Amino acid sequence: MIINLGSGNKKLYGFINVDNNPKTNPDILCDGETYIKQYANNTIKHIMMDNYIEHIQDFETHLQDCIRTLKPNGKITIITIHALNFLDAYGDCNHKSRFNAMTFYIFAQRNHLIINQQITSRIPIFNPIMNLRIKQKYYLIDMLPMISTWLLPFNIKTTLIKN
């Protein structure tokens, strides 16, 4: 089973597309937090969250609930706006949480998950700069906020894998 939480108008073929907005015509009309709770442990293969997690008030509890439902080696793919992308991260009054690369790194450590991460710009020429790392843990972009305003707009793409 594969689920696309907060699908909006980005429906994915082969996924159960879940959204709470009836105008997007999802497969399941429901908020993602409520929907995921119905699943038993170890039943879902993949959960996609594309510009969804920033709309969740208690994202950590929600992610832990999603992890509970994952099969071994199941994954959650999260695409969200980087916190230093001020116009997008803070400009939408529906955004409840802001993220940088360390947010998911720490979450993965606390929950014993494998993490793969990438920072992506909607302007592809900047992608090599965006993914420069310091000590394999920190992204240069997180350390230099003045550069981030110059490189707007950019996102964090994270994949969390259950052991």
Note the pLDDT tens digit of each residue in 63-117: 999 999 999 999 999 998 876 666 666 677 788 888 877 888 889 999 999 988 8
- 113: Cβ contacts below 8 Å, ≥ 6 apart: 67, 107, 160, 161, 162, 163
Range of the domain at 60: 2-162
pLDDT at position 143 is 53
Note the pLDDT tens digit of each residue in 3-16: 999 999 999 999 99
**Are 133 and 139 in contact, with CB atoms under 8 Å apart?**
yes
**Are 59 and 31 in contact, with CB atoms under 8 Å apart?**
no
What is the chain's alpha carbon radius of gyration, rounded to the nearest angstrom? 16
Kindly report the CATH number assigned to the domain that includes residue 38. 3.40.50.150
Domain count along the chain = 1
Whole-model pTM above 0.75? yes
Model confidence at 32, pLDDT cuts 50, 70, 90, reads very high
